[in-house]
Amino acid sequence: MPDAGRPRVSSDVGLADWLLALGEVRGARERRAELAALLGLGFSSAPGGTAGGEREEGDDGRAPDPARPIAAASTDGGRAFDVEEDEPDESADELPLPARVTPLERVDADAEEGALAPPSWLGAFAMPVGKESPTRSRPPLDPLLVPRWTRSVLVEVLAGTGASREIDVPRLIDDVAARRLVRALPLLRRRTLAHGVQLLLDRGAAMAPFFRDQEDLLRHARATVGREKVDVVRFMACPGRGAGRGARTGWGRWTPPPTGTPVVVVTDLGIGRPPAARDRAPAVEWRAFVRSADEAGCPLLAFVPYARRRWPRGLGRSLTIVPWDRSTSADLVRRHLAIGGDG
């Protein structure tokens, strides 16, 4: 039977846990006692203490320290330990190591009702009940584009060019001055959303961190152009390998939209993929896709969520690339459209 002055403990907290906690505490010894209590450790009187917990003087005439921890059940046999340590120097920063460890009899927590009462703070926290929907647990989206700029950026990105009803007077004067036969009045070409847009979304593994941003971009594109004028096509690696509007098993060869319809590719151009990944398309493959779009008469633009310094070298000379991040503004898009993706 353990001494009457020693509380019985049964816990998975060990002496090492108490020592680690003490390493973070500086100050009076009563703080150390509080730490031990928080860890579920009891305290025993010095050898020879009374059953009522009364303090008796030691051999040197001083009262023994009441704050000696009883470590919890260890992994070697499940026994608890009584730790007796030398009197520490109150001015020392380092805690002295225990001088002696004495095994105590382990107490079954179920043997006596109330022997190990739960701490008072346990009831202050309510555990969640039920399961939450995965969509509810997702953090709010921090979009790549500045929200107040999104519409103006998309107008520049999604707009195509078309003939207006205004006469191109400078061109007409040039034709007349050069004595060229004017068969039809030249009209000014304006940027317009009337053609709609084909939105190619890269669903490769490296684009997974941007899937929610793709959804947000699609939602704004439909609000800007009109839901019926946004043709959503998905692909992996490069649209030239195949693309489609439904399940991947039903994808086939990429089909360009009607002539004059802008094509916007939302992709990382293989930047986020390992060099040997199967869903990484080299620059030469992207150039072949650019030629296909040009032959179809469809202006092509790539929306890339990486800084310009990481773009595939030389690809911007044949493909207009626009950064997709917080620095993107309508003016930036216009400059890239005017001088190309490498500008």
Average pLDDT over residues 201-206: 90
Instruction: Report how far residue 10's alpha carbon sits from residue 34's, in angstroms, rounded to the nearest whole number.
Output: 18
Instruction: For 46-85, list the strands marked E by DSSP.
Output: 68-71, 80-84
Query: Mean pLDDT of all residues in the chain?
Result: 74
The residue ranges of every structural domain in the chain are 15-124, 147-162+192-339
Q: Give the pLDDT confidence score for residue 333 in this predicted structure.
A: 86
103 forms bridges with which residues in the sheet?
A: 81
Residue 156 near residue 334, CB atoms below 8 Å: yes
Lowest mean pLDDT among 10-14, 67-71, 224-228: 67-71
- Closest by Cα among 7, 14, 6 to 73: 14
Instruction: For the chain, list the strands marked E by DSSP.
Output: 42-44, 68-71, 80-84, 100-104, 160-167, 187-192, 197-202, 230-235, 243-244, 263-266, 300-304, 320-323
Q: Give the pLDDT confidence score for residue 201 in this predicted structure.
A: 96
pLDDT digits (tens, 9 = 90+) for 257-292: 999 899 999 999 988 876 666 777 888 899 999 999
Q: Give the pLDDT confidence score for residue 65 in this predicted structure.
A: 52
Q: Give the pLDDT confidence score for residue 124 in this predicted structure.
A: 64
DSSP string covering 226-266, please?
-GGGEEEEEESS-GGG-EESS-GGG-BS----STT--EEEE
Amino acid at 339: I
Residue 260 near residue 191, CB atoms below 8 Å: no
Structure tokens at 42: 């009891």
Amino acid at 216: D
Q: Give the pLDDT confidence score for residue 335 in this predicted structure.
A: 85
pLDDT digits (tens, 9 = 90+) for 117-134: 666 666 665 666 555 555
Length of the chain: 343
pLDDT digits (tens, 9 = 90+) for 30-53: 667 777 777 666 655 445 444 444
Kindly report the CA angle at 75 between 73 and 76, in degrees rounded to 5?
105
Q: Give the pLDDT confidence score for residue 8 in this predicted structure.
A: 44
Kindly report the CA angle at 325 between 259 and 156, in degrees rounded to 5?
35
Q: Give the pLDDT confidence score for residue 315 in this predicted structure.
A: 84
Q: Give the pLDDT confidence score for residue 76 in this predicted structure.
A: 47
Average pLDDT over residues 227-233: 94
Average pLDDT over residues 191-213: 89
CATH architecture of 147-162+192-339: 3-Layer(aba) Sandwich (3.40)
Lowest mean pLDDT among 84-98, 294-308, 316-330: 84-98
User: Among residues of the chain, what percentage have pLDDT more than 90?
Assistant: 22
pLDDT at residue 254 is higher than 90: yes
The pTM for the full model equals 0.54
Q: Give the pLDDT confidence score for residue 219 in this predicted structure.
A: 93
